[in-house]
A and B are shown apart, each in its own frame.
Chain A
Amino acid sequence: MLKKAFVSMALLMMVTFLMTTPGLAQKVRGVTDTEVLIGQTGPQTGPAALWGAVARGTGLYFKGINDEGGIHGRKVKYFLRDDGYQPAKTRAIATEFVEQMGIFGVVGCVGVGPGMAVRDYYTENKVLMVSFGCSGVTNWINPFNRYIFATYPLYVDEARGLTRYLFEQMKLTKVAVFYQNDDYGKQGLEGVEHYEKEKGLKLVASVSAEVTERDLSSHALKLKSSGAEAVVMWAMPTHAALLLAECAKIGYKPQWATSSTLSDSPVMMQITKGLWTGMILSYPIEPPDSNNPLMVKYRAWHQKYEPNERWGTFYYSGCVYAEPFVEGLKRAGRNLTPETFIKAMETLKDWRGGIGGPFTFTSTDHQGAKYVRYAQVQPDSTVKILTDWVRITK
């Protein structure tokens, strides 16, 4: 009886094997005559949900593009999935994207931790990763990967540039760093250290906090006792607000400077109760009230499709991350494959067709964003752009 069971099972297995080798048609995954399929992962829940606005902003941009008729007769079919900033989930979504939906590329997914977990998988499957990670962590673009197009300035360069600005334009030499204890924060620290080393200066203090920490009083005291004239802050909004309040309390008022991730000044102004005034920001995109024609158009889209969303920097920066992708689709033409797309993207030279800085991709360098502007926060929580686009990458 056992033998019979085995034999029948073996037969069943054979049948299944035969069934499961369907002949795949030779065509490009995710591209049809009328559609191109795009995926995106972004945390909509959990502690990192704040950055989920970026993903929804990309959704808005594609809606607008589709209404204008799409690209070369193809509409963008766009899937947004929530990964809760957990790499294991991101990876599960990635398999769904590739094996079940069959996407052409992913755009503007949030988070480097989740990104690192899917980089190899996407590369194996020739999925294009444009603006993936939405972040400027160096690990992400090293080693060079043809399928990755990064459109966010590297945090290291950004922090270096910021320190240079403080030193050259504002003549502040005693600089301290406050950073949050993860890849993002540490890259900020590295950047400042680079510049200090170049100029033969010494970093006065570097103070770190765990992401979950909610009491920063001893951090503030440490910064104050270091006597720094300027503090470069590489942190999350909550920490920024807590730290500013603690410092104000003990009467410590250095010049603050921070990265583009804290560029949402109306929110920052509200949660810091006005202490955000005077903050120096490196600003890689247009400010929210800019009169740039594209910004005007995007604001109109916002009013039309998602009027309930708040028009914050994170939200519309979702557009910035998708712009180069759409430009690549345009340049690749009707015959769209991963190869033609990469070729087309590599023709972008100082491209200013979006609301971000000039993007350049070459066949050996896919880190496209190398420019920022510097801005200062005004008391009415608008930002004043102080400089023109400054190259921060050497």
Chain B
Amino acid sequence: MDIKRSYYEDIELFKSNTILVWSILFLVFLGILPWLVKAYHLLGMSIYILNLITINALVAIGLNILVGYTGQISMGHAGFFAIGAFTTVIFIVNWSFPLYIALPIAGFISSAFGFILGLPALRLKGPYLAIATLGFGMSITTIIKHMEFFGGRMGLQAPKLYLFGTPMKDIHYYYVIMIIAVLMVIGALKLIKTRVGRAFIAIRDSDIAAEAMGVNLTYYKTLSFAVSAFYTGIAGGLYALILGFINPEGFTMIMSIAFLAMVVVGGLGSIMGSIAGAALLTYLDIKLQVVQDIPAIGPALVAFSQKYMSMAGISNIAVIVYGLIMILIVLFEPLGIFGFWIRTKRYWKTWPF
């Protein structure tokens, strides 16, 4: 079953009926998830957090195409995220475009910037590229801040959208975002299996060898940046909508780092891993903040803080735990959550051997 006899078998999305059924079940599950969350608040979730996770997953997928599949580094994806967010809001508010046009436009403008950033990336490797992209991310927000057109330092109020006359709330956004996300995930899965995706992977493994085999480095490297920026731009637009307000201060270097961490924690070169990484880190980022209230450990931590540390900074434990998770996953599971998944799968397949 695992042997692929032709190319079409490889690019097929549902390789067997089992996978098809499970995929449909999963889609149905996604459909009813908001109701479950609303009724039971599983793990303290809310629909808004689901939306945020989905958006972050889109960014992580985009970034993974660049980092995991093409082997380039970007520490400036918050910049693309900001471009997507601001473009969407401006197109809807200033020029009253509908969302379904504004969002793709935001994606394409963002990918145009990705293309531009891709040009110097042709000559840069490793740390040099990391620093150049870092600079890009920082510069974008500074430039946005100084242009009154983008709301300047005050930020922009995102428009209130209406769906059949009723103002859209978290739950409506959930379905909009989820439909977009499902389409984009399928797009990413397909892209990786095509000529383009294979060219990306060839560049990652060895760009010189890839060039020798006839992969046009200039074209594919910039394309990878553009695709990655497209995903991030779309996600940025959605982010502006669910948040209702964006200001340039919201798109920091920390955000770029968080995106990168999602990709690495999820697993480099795995779309599903990116989704898992985004879900895990977003959730932790939001929920890790009330260490005092954790049963058993909480009071001990409070006592420890009072004695040796400061009570004022007790929330910083969350930051420490977050950093520790990043390190431990890279150390002990270099393929991230995806690697963990593969090992579990293999373990069950070969059980009891």
Distance, CA A296 to CA B52, complexed state (A): 46
Asked if B36 and A308 make an inter-chain contact with CB atoms under 8 angstroms apart, the answer reads: no
The SS class assigned to the B binding surface is helix
Asked if B52 and A88 make an inter-chain contact with CB atoms under 8 angstroms apart, the answer reads: yes
Residues of chain B lying within 8 A (CB to CB) of residue A181: 145-146, 153
CB distance from B59 to the nearest CB of A (A): 12
Question: Provided the pairs A95-B170, A182-B153 are in contact, do residues A308 and B311 lie with their beta carbons within 8 angstroms?
Answer: yes
| A interface residues, tally (CB under 8 Å) | 52
Asked if B157 and A95 make an inter-chain contact with CB atoms under 8 angstroms apart, the answer reads: no
Q: Among A5, A183, A309, which residue has its beta carbon within 8 angstroms of that of B247? A: A183
**Interface assignment of A82: CB less than 8 Å from any CB of chain B:** yes
Question: Provided the pairs A16-B36, A45-B316, A99-B41 are in contact, do residues A91 and B243 lie with their beta carbons within 8 angstroms?
Answer: yes
User: Which B residues between 248 and 298 are near A, CB-CB below 8 angstroms?
Assistant: 249-250, 254, 285-286, 289-290
Minimal Cβ-Cβ distance residue in B for A179:
B153
Asked if A183 and B28 make an inter-chain contact with CB atoms under 8 angstroms apart, the answer reads: no
Asked if A183 and B155 make an inter-chain contact with CB atoms under 8 angstroms apart, the answer reads: yes
- How many residue pairs, one in A and one in B, have C-beta atoms under 8 Å apart? 128
Binds B, one of A115-123, A165-173, A261-269: A115-123
| B interface residues, tally (CB under 8 Å) | 53
CB distance from B76 to the nearest CB of A (A): 15
- Most A CB atoms within 10 A — which of B243, B246, B289? B289
Minimal Cβ-Cβ distance residue in A for B255:
A86
Residues of chain A lying within 8 A (CB to CB) of residue B157: 116
Kindly list the 7 A-B residue pairs having the minimum CB-CB distance in the complex, ordered from nearest: A44-B315, A116-B245, A95-B46, A20-B39, A82-B315, A82-B289, A95-B48
Inter-chain pairs besides A9-B24, A113-B247, A185-B153, 6 sampled, C-beta below 8 Å: A44-B314, A87-B243, A100-B41, A117-B245, A119-B245, A181-B146
* 26 examples of A-B residue contacts, CB within 8 angstroms: A2-B21, A5-B25, A19-B39, A22-B39, A44-B289, A45-B318, A87-B246, A89-B286, A91-B48, A91-B242, A91-B243, A92-B49, A95-B46, A95-B47, A95-B49, A100-B46, A113-B155, A113-B245, A113-B247, A113-B250, A116-B155, A117-B244, A181-B145, A181-B153, A185-B153, A211-B249
Q: Taking beta carbons and an 8 Å cutoff, which residues of A are in contact with B?
A: 1-2, 5-6, 9, 12-13, 16-17, 19-20, 22, 44-46, 49, 52-53, 56, 81-84, 86-89, 91-93, 95-96, 99-100, 113, 116-117, 119-121, 124, 139, 181-183, 185-186, 210-211, 306, 308-309
